[in-house]
Chain A
Amino acid sequence: MAKLELQNLSKSYSAKVTPLKQLSLSVEDGEFLTLLGPSGCGKSTTLRLIAGLEPPTQGEIRIGGRDVTQSLPGERNIAMVFQSYALYPHMSVYDNIASGLKLRRVASSEIRRQISEVSLFLGLENLMQRRPGQLSGGQRQRVALARALVRRPDVFLLDEPLSNLDALLREQVRAELKQIFSQQNAPIVYVTHDQTEAMTLSSRVAVLNDGLLQQLDSPRRIYSRPANRFVAGFIGTPQMNLLHLDCNRSCAMLGQYKIPLPVGARSLSEVILGIRPEHVRLVRPGDPIVIQGEVVVVENLGMSDLLTVRVEGKPEFVRTMLSPDQSWSGKSIKLSIPPEMIHWFDAQTGNRVSDATR
């Protein structure tokens, strides 16, 4: 229906407060784009700019090729789901869902037809005459979704729609959301600080930090090839091991262990070695990179134990996930770092070091 394009979008409130800097991206029909980042990274601001609730300081917003930068929110034909749901408390569920259509002077028989369709889809048929105050959190959430879906907008915007639900319900609604939006043929922009939501729902993820786009990629590539140190540390739980190492003749020095650098990193004097805890494993014969250390902390994660290991001869810690079938506490263990799982980052710029030539 309508492609959403942002071009060099910036927002600043004063010389010092600039929540968004030069963001450019586009979202195709049916694509689920998630804006992910820590609080204050500019993701909610981006959403408010797209919605037209705030004017951008600079840049352009296009929906379906039409420049809407100066349009009022109501003229953009977008639907937005808010974190607090923002249902009108004095209206029944039916009127809440119908409000947008009524404003567009859709015939009342048509409104009825569309609402019954949406409410059947979301299981809201029996709640139509209730007030939002009489609904549970999950039901309110679905009414808010229904209000967005019934409009058949050109763009869907969702602002942390799951963060007000309790953990159990959140997982269930997340799956529902995925199913609901897989059937929508419009660009979907979803804002969250929860990486699980981002990874499970999106077709593409835009990681933002400090108002700057860090990486725009598929969830898989965000995980497997983080573009810089920030993305590497932000995505994945438990957090990736990021070791600041000195270089010595095309090798990084981890304590007394030498780790060969990729071609692109050979000129650097310092590098950051990134390795996910789930990729560090116990040593097997023939492993090229082996380190030894003492287990200082054991955290039980259920399906595995998360160990914090002090690397011998270096004040560095490496975290690893190992099977909980034995007691690790206080032991000295040998760990292997598989070279193909290592992410290298430039210590100065934080950017990923190209490993294409390896």
Chain B
Amino acid sequence: MANSARSTAPRLGLWLAVGLILLLSLAPILWQLLTSLKTTADITAIPNVYFPRQLTLEHYIDIFQRQPFLRYMLNSAFVAVVSTLLCLLIGTPAAYVLARLKLPGEQIILTGVLIVTLFPYILLFLGLLELVRNFGLANNYLALIVPYTAINLPLTILVMRSFFQQLPHELEDAARVEGYSTAQMLLQILLPLTTPALVTTGILAFIAAWNEFIFALTFITRDSMKTVPVAVAQLSGTAVFEVPYGALAAATVVGTLPLVLLVLLFQRRIVQGLTAGAVKG
């Protein structure tokens, strides 16, 4: 009896803490979701209406009908996918070389990569603006794809490098002894093992690119090329002073949904330890 009483109290405390943390981190999202489903009257009602008295999809229909929101999402997706792929394509080989070869000045290169990530992002902005203007890249997807790729590269290189370092060297030796050429070894042995790490870093790069705001706001002015974060920020109501809370909430939910789906879809891939069994477990 005493035993069970003693173990119940900490358990209760644990679940209380879990509940609090969940509430703290999920509350804003929950609020947005509920707001997006409320009628406009409920949203503006005083005192606050917490749970929608009447569910409605009018705000969702609104953002797709009054604005080309699908178009914005496709813009975002295109920019994010291309920059993510470029990131992995450039970063992974670089990471492999940094992990496997004993390069002279390797430490300097790594420090350089690290320092780039510390550089305040906003300071790059004015320089980039000049470049975009000089190369005539305004209202061109490249104006976003190139900086996004560049900004995400250091992270990709560092994460992938530490992944390659923990991958047993003997696997590659075994493949070479078996007669795999370097290209075959990389594609048939290394690549399948690297997938979880590629997916993980890919998702991080994708999220960063999908959510980026300032570059997207500045380098793209043509409405048909805008990305989701910019479009959400620029949503306007029917009247001048009306803040379209409902539409904003709906747009936020729709804009976040692809990221949530992406993470859920690849979650197993991320967690799954594909290297299990390569060497003594």
Residues of chain A having any CB pair with chain B under 8 Å: 48, 51-53, 72-75, 78-80, 82-90, 99-100, 103-104, 131-135, 137, 140, 147, 151, 157, 164
Contact = CB atoms under 8 A, between A and B. Distances in A.
Nearest to A84: B279
B179 interface: yes
Given A82-B170, A82-B174, A83-B170, A88 B278 contact: yes
B72 to A, nearest CB: 39
A88 B189 contact: yes
B112 interface: no
A118 to B, nearest CB: 15
Interface of B: 168, 170-171, 173-181, 184, 189, 192-193, 274-281
Contact of A103 (B170, B173, B180, B277): B180
Contacts of A100: 178-179
A137 B170 contact: no
Contacts of A164: 280
Contact of B278 (A48, A72, A74, A89): A89
Contacts of A53: 173, 176-177
14 contacts: A51-B177, A53-B173, A73-B173, A80-B177, A84-B170, A84-B279, A86-B168, A86-B173, A86-B278, A88-B171, A89-B278, A133-B276, A133-B277, A134-B277
A164 B192 CA distance: 25
A78 B274 contact: no
Contacts of A84: 168, 170, 278-280
B193 A89 contact: yes
Given A89-B276, A89-B278, A80 B193 contact: no
B177 A90 contact: no
Contacts of A151: 178
Contacts of A79: 177
Nearest to B195: A90
Residue in B168, B173, B277 with the greatest tally of chain A CB atoms within 10 Å = B277
B278 A87 contact: yes
